[in-house]
Chains A and B, each alone.
Chain A
Amino acid sequence: MEAGQSFLPGLIEACRAAIALNADRLCLLDEEIGDGDHGTNMRRGCDAVFAERDMLADLPLPQALERIGMTLVMSVGGASGPLYGTLLMELGRGLATDEFGVGHSFSPALSRAVDAVARRGRSVAGEKTLLDVLYPVQAEVSMHSTLDGIASEALAAAERTVAMKAGRGRAAFLGNRSIGHMDPGACSCALLTDAICRYLGELEGA
């Protein structure tokens, strides 16, 4: 992975911009089937990470990811703070080990991190959560799909949550009335995946 000093701050800015641009939409989606604060919470978390970008740039990537996860836990609030925080912390921890072999660690580390999110949320695929984007993204990554392929699958996976009935979170209180709305966590997850893939694509093309 790119090791330049500006790599991580650029990635953080790309994620922050994607959330800032869509914060109102995420809040609206959350108002439909939840408590309406997902956009506000995610924006607060991205701003907190953005404020630490220079310090993070000095860390090796695994440690930086772990630190980003901790910052998200401490700043996002809501259930999404611990869920995204767990994803990043576990991904960092996974990348810090060399048990998968140098250069082959991202896919197994991501897989382990997604499983950790599922445990944290006591959820499984198909319950209309961010896992319904994370699992398909992980599948694309494991198949060595292109960046465009990963991004489009993430966005398509978020669309598929519209038809799902919520099994976890506030939306589950609504039962069948949760059907017909996109899950806000799945939406933010797809937006972030798309932003990350675009950023990496621009670096590749540069």
Chain B
Amino acid sequence: MRGNGGNVGIVIVSHSPLIARGTADMVRQMVGDSVPLSWCGGNAEGGLGTSAKDILAAIGAAWSEAGVAVFVDLGGAETNSEMAIEMLEPSRARRVAICNAPVVEGAVIAAAEASGGATLSKVVATAEELSP
């Protein structure tokens, strides 16, 4: 992690690696290196899909003591993210939240919030305001 202090980290999980990476690009454009950021998407054969193993690694890569906000697209992404969080040690698991928000808008607005030093609960609440 590069000079991002104690800001909340952002993880983007999509079935499509293109969407996950593209969303991460949009986040970076907005906040540069000021928040820890990681993404994952796709299955072992290079097709569409999500994997608890990759999500676990992505959470580790975007880890921040302030916590990590996870953005997911569809069903399996959420179920696998929940599974990955349960596999973390409890002291870390408590500091990871899956956001009920659209993946692109949610990740960008959450990163903007995180870059100002907001807490995890504030970052999550801001992103979730996007969902009706």
Question: A residues touching B (Cβ–Cβ < 8 Å)?
Answer: 35, 37, 40-41, 44, 73-75, 77-83, 85-86, 120-121, 168-170
Question: Residue of B at shortest CB range from A37?
Answer: B49
Taking a contact as CB atoms under 8 Å apart, the answer to whether A44 and B52 are in contact is no
Task: Give the chain A neighbours of B83 by CB distance below 8 A.
Answer: 73, 81-82, 85-86, 120
If A41-B49, A77-B76, A120-B82 are given as contacts, then 16 extra A-B residue pairs at C-beta distance below 8 Å, sorted by A number, are A37-B43, A44-B44, A73-B52, A73-B83, A73-B87, A74-B53, A75-B51, A77-B51, A78-B80, A79-B80, A81-B51, A81-B80, A82-B52, A168-B75, A170-B74, A170-B75
How many positions in chain B have a CB within 8 Å of any CB in the partner chain? 19
Question: Residue of A at shortest CB range from B74?
Answer: A170
Task: Give the chain A neighbours of B79 by CB distance below 8 A.
Answer: 79, 82-83, 120-121
Residues 73-123 (chain B) with a chain A CB within 8 angstroms: 74-76, 79-80, 82-83, 87
- Closest Cβ of chain A to B16, distance in Å, is 11
Question: B residues touching A (Cβ–Cβ < 8 Å)?
Answer: 15, 43-45, 47-53, 74-76, 79-80, 82-83, 87
Dominant secondary structure of chain A at its interface with chain B: helix
Task: Give the chain B neighbours of A168 by CB distance below 8 A.
Answer: 75
CA distance A170 to B44 in the complex (A): 21
Taking a contact as CB atoms under 8 Å apart, the answer to whether B43 and A41 are in contact is yes
Taking a contact as CB atoms under 8 Å apart, the answer to whether A77 and B74 are in contact is no
Question: Residue of B at shortest CB range from A170?
Answer: B75
Of the candidates A37, A44, A77, A170, which one forms a contact with B80 in the assembled complex, judged by CB atoms under 8 Å apart?
Answer: A77
Of listed A35, A37, A82, A86, residue having the most chain B CB within 10 A = A82
